[in-house]
Structure 1
Amino acid sequence: MQDIIQGKGIVVGKNIDTDQIYPGRYLELVEPEDIAKHAMEGVDPNFHGRFKSGDIIVADKNFGCGSSREHAVITLKAAGVAAVIAPSFARIFYRNAINLGLPLITCGEILEKVDEGDMLEIDLKIGRINNTTKAIQIEGEKLPEFVLDMISHGGIKQYHIKGVGTEK
């Protein structure tokens, strides 16, 4: 994982639940390319038309509410979502994202400063978001170093397989 993520902002609403991120009727799919086709389908059936791999989801509060299944995060990663920025995240979704290596940035004022299609640059080390389209900086919450480490390894499983964080 790189410290700087760049991508186009894709704006969605509030209280986006896990079934909107990845509808339960597709749970039998196992191939990442099949799963990716249904990302955010419950929010916008045309999401795939406006989203490109590497884009950044910009959401309103309570992103990822709903069930605790990891499929929502798996779907976002399979689709190529580079990061999600929102004022708040559902607790279990947040933990699933960290566990699976998807960067989430909490930022209360993000929707006031980002419009659909704005080009964004996130500095994960300090939590700063640069809206390069509008030439403004937005301060998000900095992720703890161990979380950045987990994300850089692709999630908690790879983090532990490589023995990171287990030194005595």
Structure 2
Amino acid sequence: MTTCPHRAAPPLAPPAVLSARPYRSRGTARDHHPTTEPRRPRRPRAGCAGGPGRDPRDGLSARFAHRLVEVLTGARPSGQLLRHTTLDCYGQLSALVRAGTLRGTRGGERPRLGPVHDRSPAPGAVEACVRVDLGSRHHMVAFRLEPRGPSGQWQCTAVEAR
């Protein structure tokens, strides 16, 4: 019996070479190809705060803007932001609440917040502003956040609303 030269089986690699390569396995046949680069972890959704390798400021200004607008419209008492503000800023916030800057909606309309625009003018500061729609009126709320105290907790150091 003679064998055909173009039907010969290719030589097999030694088992040690095959087992040294890592494989990705996700359950489908097309993903079972060998790879030499490590897998990168999936990035958490934008709405999730924290996580490894994430900046702790991510989403901070948006979360604070929502709480601040709730206080300014009367949905929350101003005391709930006391530990998140400096003493001077709490005085500014109290004056805005007393003046009723974001109150006076007719028919109990809920405020709608636009996107929160924030910038970091210095490594230890975040300045942000947000447009608030209350019925037919539009307001702007601006604030500044800085890490304060021995723990470095972010606190609001200035607030303004018009």
Which TM bucket (shorter chain)?
Answer: under 0.3
Q: Which has the higher strand share?
A: 2
TM-score with structure 2 length normalisation? 0.27
The structure number with the bigger radius of gyration is 2
Higher relative contact order (CA 8 A, sep 6+): 1
Under a length normalisation based on structure 1, what TM-score does the superposition of the two structures give? 0.27
